[in-house]
Amino acid sequence: MSDAVEELYSLLIPLAEDRLIVPRACVAEVVRFIEPENSPGSEDWYLGTVNWNGRQLPVVAFEGMIGSDIPVMTGRTRIVVFYASAGKLRGGFFGILTQGFPQLVRVNREVLKLDTSVELPEQAPVFCRVKMINEFPLIPNLESVEERLAEITLQS
C-alpha cells in the first residue's frame, strides 16, 4: 500500500493586506473588476452587484467583513466568483474582491499549521489563520459570507 500524501488544490487569494486560502473547487471563475451597482443603506463591506453571465452577482470586500478598511480599487483588482454552496443566495454565486490574481497551490497536512498568534474579531467570517511555509492566510467561512449576503440582499 502506498504512503500517498493527501493533497488539496487550493487558491491563495490576495487581499489588500492579507490572503485567503480556499479549495479550488469553491471558485467558479475570476473576472476583471466592474464597478458594482451600489445598494444604499447596506453594510460597507457589501459593494453591490455586478452583471456576471446574465446574473446579478453580489460582491463583498472581505477586508470590511473582518474589520479592516475597504481597499482602493486598482488595475489589479479582480472579483473571485464563488459557488454559493449553502443554497442561501438566489443566483447561486457571490463574489469577493481580490487585489490580484489568485495563485494555485497544493496543500497537505505537512505544510499547513494552525496560527493562533493573532486573535480575529469574533464576528469575522473566518475559521482560522494558518501558517503555510512563509504565508499566514485566513481560511474563510464561506457559508457565513453567504448567509450575511442573503440577509442583506433580501432586505434590498
Q: What is the CATH number of the domain that holds 40?
A: 2.40.50.180
* 3 inside domain: no
* 99 inside domain: yes
* 34 inside domain: yes
Q: Which residues pair with 106 in a beta bridge?
A: 9
Number of domains forming the structure of the chain: 1
Q: Write out the residue range of the structural domain in which residue 80 sits.
A: 8-155
Closest Cα to residue 152, out of 39, 69, 63?
A: 39
* 17 inside domain: yes
Predicted local confidence at residue 3, as pLDDT: 52
* 2 inside domain: no
* 81 inside domain: yes
pLDDT by residue for the chain (156 residues), tens only, comes to 445 568 899 999 999 999 999 999 999 999 999 999 877 667 889 999 999 999 999 999 999 999 999 999 999 999 999 999 888 888 899 999 999 999 999 998 888 888 888 888 888 999 999 998 888 999 999 999 999 999 887 755
Count of beta carbons in the 10 Å neighbourhood of residue 61: 23
- d(Cα 57, Cα 71) in Å, to the nearest integer? 19
pTM for the whole structure: 0.90
Predicted local confidence at residue 155, as pLDDT: 53
Q: Residues in the chain, how many?
A: 156
* 131 inside domain: yes
Q: Following DSSP, what letter does each residue of the chain receive, concatenated? A: ---PPP-EEEEEEE-SS-EEEEEGGGEEEEEE--PPBP-TTS-TTEEEEEEETTEEEEEE-HHHHTTSPPPPP-TTEEEEEEE-TTS-STTSEEEEEEES--EEEEE-TTTEEEE-SSPPPTTSSEEEEEEETTB--EEE-HHHHHHHHHHHHHH-
Predicted local confidence at residue 1, as pLDDT: 44
Closest Cα to residue 116, out of 99, 101, 97, 129?
A: 129
* 88 inside domain: yes
